[in-house]
A and B are shown apart, each in its own frame.
Chain A
Amino acid sequence: MSKFIFGRYLPLNSVVHRLDPRNKLAISFCYIILVFLANSLLSYLILIALTLGAIKASHIKLGFFLRGIRPLIWLIIFTVLLQLLFSPAGGHVYWHWAFINVTQFGLINAGYIFIRFMLIIMMSTLLTLSTQPLDIATGLASLMTPLRWVRVPVDTLAMMLSIALRFVPTLMDEAQKIMNAQRARGVDFGEGGLIKQAKSLIPLMVPLFMSAFNRAEDLSTAMETRGYQDSEHRSHYRVLTWQRRDTVTWLIFGVGLALILISRRW
């Protein structure tokens, strides 16, 4: 579990860390579209340069990223192999014939998919490493504001999201505590066959949900005694400001987009 670095926050003080979270979220979103737009060797080189530049600017070591990707590498290789083995004419019948004929096509395709996933994973890992979870929640909430026009309760959802993010570590500790307590009483977690594993989940899941429910009761009482009425008509303590560096990142991103559109095979 500790091997995964996705979703963790690394407190440093770099340009990337100080960017507006709204900006980072929007850029990551557009970046994914950009990755799918790229389809020639040159456009991928531009993308790689952009990504490495962003990582360099964040002062996080590249090795740290690569170590984080390691647990995922088998998944990626498996996906790439699936592409490689099944995209040329498929299945069992044409195997030998197609193996010589179509491999070049499948190989290039698989290579592109490999690069795509590496790039997207690196960029999204950079997002979570350089942004605090609550900042992500605030940023998402403010990016969702236009949805208010179609009557989506944006403020309520934002409130839920920030409560949920705040309670992930607390519930994680609690789950660990329940597991240890049940182990002390002789429950074996993660051992045996499917049925045995599923059975061992009951003494973990039932208390976990029950305690979440009780916690919700306490928390809602505490919120109301502090004058919480509803999510609308509230002012905000954390106010995000757009700065010059945010504009600059969009300029760089725009140049990257233009270059990729030019070098793309249409």
Chain B
Amino acid sequence: MTRHKTFRLVVDALLMAIVLLQNILPFLGYIPLGPFSMTLIGLTVIVAGTALGPRDGALIGGFWGLITFIRAFTWPSSPVAPLVFTNPLISILPRLLMGLLAGWLFTWGRRRWSTGNAMRLAAGCAALVNSLLVLGLVYVFYQTPAVATAFGATGNQTLGYVLMISLVTNAVPELLLDVLVAPLIARPLRRKWDQLTS
């Protein structure tokens, strides 16, 4: 039993290292798309959720969110990051729920469909939830004047609008990427994890 506990700890640590690496090496973390970019870090979170379980997915997702939050202040990843991700609700919550959902949906779908289909479903929904939550929370916070002024933006509907369009154009390719690539990575890992824990 301890055997599998230590292994889980180390695997989570190494997935955290991959997330850190994807933040440090832009090539591993992002595919540039004009002024905005598509992130590959969501892929790692989905892999953690589907290959190991909802708890690990939430941990890796939360870790990504925390990095996004800190980076928005110290080392912005994109021009919109300092405006949006300085709010922990927008930076941390969607990522955390994304990992959790990937794990839950996979265990739920696994009983009904093949491993591959369950993984595709989990990856798609997780990516969608992340994008929708970020988009929705930005929308919510840009409507209230108190938060808008706290962001240094005085009553700008247009900025919120621009942000939403960019997020929508980002969400679709990200969703496709996650659905297509995540199962390829997660499946061999899942097999191994099942061997170890059973």
Q: How far is the CB of B194 from chain A (nearest CB, A)?
A: 13
- From 204 to 218 in chain A, residues with beta carbon under 8 angstroms from any chain B beta carbon are 204-206, 208-210, 212-213, 215-217
Q: Does B177 contact A (CB under 8 A)?
A: yes
B6: which of A6, A168, A228 is its contact (CB, 8 Å)? Answer: A228
Contact with A along B120-131 (1 / 0, CB 8 A): 000000000000
The interface stretch among B89-97, B101-109, B133-141, B151-159 is B151-159
Taking a contact as CB atoms under 8 Å apart, the answer to whether B7 and A217 are in contact is: yes
Q: Does A26 contact B (CB under 8 A)?
A: no
Separation of A194 and B38 alpha carbons in the complex (Å): 10
Q: How far is the CB of A256 from chain B (nearest CB, A)?
A: 19
Q: Please tell me the size bucket of the interface on B.
A: 35 or more
Q: Does B185 contact A (CB under 8 A)?
A: yes
Q: Does A79 contact B (CB under 8 A)?
A: yes
Taking a contact as CB atoms under 8 Å apart, the answer to whether B78 and A124 are in contact is: no
Separation of A184 and B151 alpha carbons in the complex (Å): 48
A residues less than 8 Å from B75 (CB atoms): 6-7, 72, 121, 124
Taking a contact as CB atoms under 8 Å apart, the answer to whether B21 and A175 are in contact is: yes
Q: Does A49 contact B (CB under 8 A)?
A: no
Q: Does A159 contact B (CB under 8 A)?
A: yes
B residues less than 8 Å from A92 (CB atoms): 158
Taking a contact as CB atoms under 8 Å apart, the answer to whether A72 and B83 are in contact is: no
Q: Does A146 contact B (CB under 8 A)?
A: no
Taking a contact as CB atoms under 8 Å apart, the answer to whether A79 and B6 are in contact is: no
B residues less than 8 Å from A6 (CB atoms): 74-75
Separation of A91 and B158 alpha carbons in the complex (Å): 5
What number of residue pairs across chains A and B have CB atoms under 8 A from each other? 163
Contact with B along A113-142 (1 / 0, CB 8 A): 100010011001100000000000000000
- From 70 to 121 in chain B, residues with beta carbon under 8 angstroms from any chain A beta carbon are 73-76, 78-79, 81-83
Q: Please tell me the size bucket of the interface on A.
A: 35 or more
A residues less than 8 Å from B6 (CB atoms): 220, 223-224, 228
B residues less than 8 Å from A204 (CB atoms): 28
Q: How far is the CB of B151 from chain A (nearest CB, A)?
A: 9
Classify the interface of chain B: helix, strand, loop or mixed.
Answer: helix
Taking a contact as CB atoms under 8 Å apart, the answer to whether B156 and A124 are in contact is: no
Q: Does B184 contact A (CB under 8 A)?
A: yes
Q: In this complex, what residue of A is CB-closest to B163?
A: A82
Contact with B along A160-173 (1 / 0, CB 8 A): 11011101100110
Taking a contact as CB atoms under 8 Å apart, the answer to whether A219 and B10 are in contact is: yes
Q: Does B189 contact A (CB under 8 A)?
A: yes
Q: Does A254 contact B (CB under 8 A)?
A: no
A residues less than 8 Å from B156 (CB atoms): 86-87, 90
- From 137 to 192 in chain B, residues with beta carbon under 8 angstroms from any chain A beta carbon are 152-159, 173, 177, 180-181, 184-185, 188-189, 192
Taking a contact as CB atoms under 8 Å apart, the answer to whether A175 and B28 are in contact is: yes
Q: How far is the CB of B70 from chain A (nearest CB, A)?
A: 8
Taking a contact as CB atoms under 8 Å apart, the answer to whether A171 and B17 are in contact is: yes
Taking a contact as CB atoms under 8 Å apart, the answer to whether A209 and B18 are in contact is: yes
A209: which of B47, B73, B78, B83 is its contact (CB, 8 Å)? Answer: B47
Known contacts A161-B16, A198-B31; decide if A82 and B159 are in contact (CB<8 Å): yes
Taking a contact as CB atoms under 8 Å apart, the answer to whether B15 and A212 are in contact is: yes
Taking a contact as CB atoms under 8 Å apart, the answer to whether B9 and A220 are in contact is: yes
Q: How far is the CB of A205 from chain B (nearest CB, A)?
A: 6
Contact with B along A1-31 (1 / 0, CB 8 A): 1001011000000000000000000000000
Q: Does A32 contact B (CB under 8 A)?
A: yes
B residues less than 8 Å from A230 (CB atoms): 2, 5
A161, A198, A210 — which one has the most chain B CB atoms within 10 A of its CB?
A: A198
Q: In this complex, what residue of B is CB-closest to A133?
A: B20
Q: Does A65 contact B (CB under 8 A)?
A: no
Interchain Cβ contacts under 8 Å between A and B, 7 examples: A112-B152, A113-B82, A120-B74, A160-B12, A164-B20, A168-B21, A198-B177
- Residue positions of A touching B, CB distance < 8 A: 1, 4, 6-7, 32, 72, 75-76, 78-79, 82-83, 86-87, 89-92, 109, 112-113, 117, 120-121, 124-125, 156, 159-161, 163-165, 167-168, 171-172, 175, 189-190, 194, 197-198, 201-202, 204-206, 208-210, 212-213, 215-217, 219-220, 223-224, 228-231
